[in-house]
Amino acid sequence: MTNDSESFDAIASLLEKYSNAHGVSGNEDEIGRLLKEDLKGCADEIKFDALGSLIAVRKGSSPNGPTIMLAAHMDEIGLMVKYIDENGFLRFAKFGGWFDQTLLNQRVIVHGSKGDIYGVIGSKPPHVMTPEDAKSPVKHKDMFIDVGAKNAEDVKNLGIEPGTYITTDRSFAKLANNRVTGKCFDNRAGVALMVEVMRRLKGKDIKATVYAVGTVQEEVGLKGAKTAAYASNADVALALDTTVPGDHPGITKLDSPLEIGKGPIVAISDASGRGLIAHPQVVKWLRESAEKIEVDVQLGVGEGGTTDASAIHLTKEGIPTGTVQIATRYIHSPVEVIDLADIENSVQLVVAAIERAHKYFTKKNE
Ligand SMILES: [Zn+2]
């Protein structure tokens, strides 16, 4: 395992840039632009598909080399304006898996057509709560956003209407021990991992062709991965994403035996097998690649939640697929926590795997 502070700095600055940017499912343009800029120097071709997924292609040196699809979803969970009341308060729909309590009293950014507007998710003060109020969790349907408007007309003039996207206002910060916090590390950590892999492949003689794909709309149904997997026609695929560790109060090793700072997670299965059952050859490839470079991996067996891999492996006649995941505390909240060493070691693992891919997979006959 590495402890190189320079590579940590490079990864931290990518993660800071991507997680401070905004992109709820269906609105990934900003992240797509950042990715295009950052991948320009390390891809032979960059395009967007009709749904908005970014596809960066790095051609391999061997005509018989396999094609590897890397998929990192660019979207984040967020909110959308649903209704504006006569007093200028916004009601909203949830996009993605929020625990409603997490939203209460957050500061948010409303991405209006005339520019971003700050808002707060307001609630009844404790002074006027009944004992029942104090005990029961507030549902998102009972919450509202205050942008400082005096009435509905005021809101309209700010460029806010039903369909306007909303994200949480929380910026990246460093904690102790190379651990960092911010919003949407799910999945900007996967995006940072993918970009850093492409950077480190630069100048290397790689037999395989790599499709680095920033997918859209993962959090609302693994949608971008479906269309991009079809386009990539890959021989093997890896979803790069985040997952739940069981290493803090309120959760046990039985809920999740994974820990932050203990290395990349190679999923064996997720959603009790209803999502992905990783292809045995992909697991073998990843574990042997990790052994080769002496990076410890954690094996993931999840019972809830899944990744783009679920959609990718069912494409065309089937694509052998696995995942490399980063343990992320407080996932699907605006205060997610990650250990940068896990991203660094995941980068090293994926680079090593790509270098050796032709020994495990061959180009399919067309
Ligand atoms: Zn994710």
Cα 56 to ligand 1 centroid, rounded to whole Å: 20
Give 189 Cα–ligand 1 centroid separation in angstroms.
9
Report how far apart the first and last C-alpha atoms of the chain are (Å, whole number): 40
- Rounded to the nearest integer, the mean pLDDT of the chain is 95
Q: What is the mean pLDDT of residues 186-206?
A: 97
The alpha carbon of 200 and the centre of ligand 1 are apart by a number of angstroms equal to 23
Report the run of H or E that residue 108 belongs to, with start and end: strand 107-112
- Whose tokens are 């808002």? That residue is 119
Look-up of token digits 């399919």: 364
What is the average pLDDT across 276-302?
98
Cα 74 to ligand 1 centre (Å): 9
Please say if 218 is a catalytic residue. Answer: yes
- What is the whole-number distance in angstroms between the Cα of residue 241 and the centre of ligand 1? 5
Choosing from 16, 28, 196, 218, which is the catalytic residue? 218
Question: pTM of whole model > 0.85?
Answer: yes
pLDDT of residue 99: 93
Q: How many C-alpha atoms does 193 have within 13 Å on its Cβ side? A: 36
pLDDT tens digit sequence for 2-34: 556 778 999 999 999 999 999 999 999 999 999
Q: What is the pLDDT of residues 319-336, one digit of tens each?
A: 999 999 999 999 999 999
What is the CA(270)–ligand 1 centre distance, in A? 13
- Digit-coded pLDDT (tens) for 41-67: 999 999 999 999 999 999 999 999 999
Distance CA 217, CA 268 (A): 24
Please give all residues whose CB falls under 5 A of ion ligand 1, grouped by chain where several chains appear.
186-187, 241
Residue 222 CA to ligand 1 center (angstroms) comes to 10
| pLDDT, position 1 | 45
Mean pLDDT, rounded, for 308-323: 96
29-39 helix and 185-201 helix, angle to the nearest 10 degrees: 20
**The predicted structure's pLDDT at residue 366:** 64
Position 125 scores a pLDDT of: 84
Among 295, 230, 305, CA closest to 270: 305
Phi, psi of 78 (to 5 degrees): -165, -160
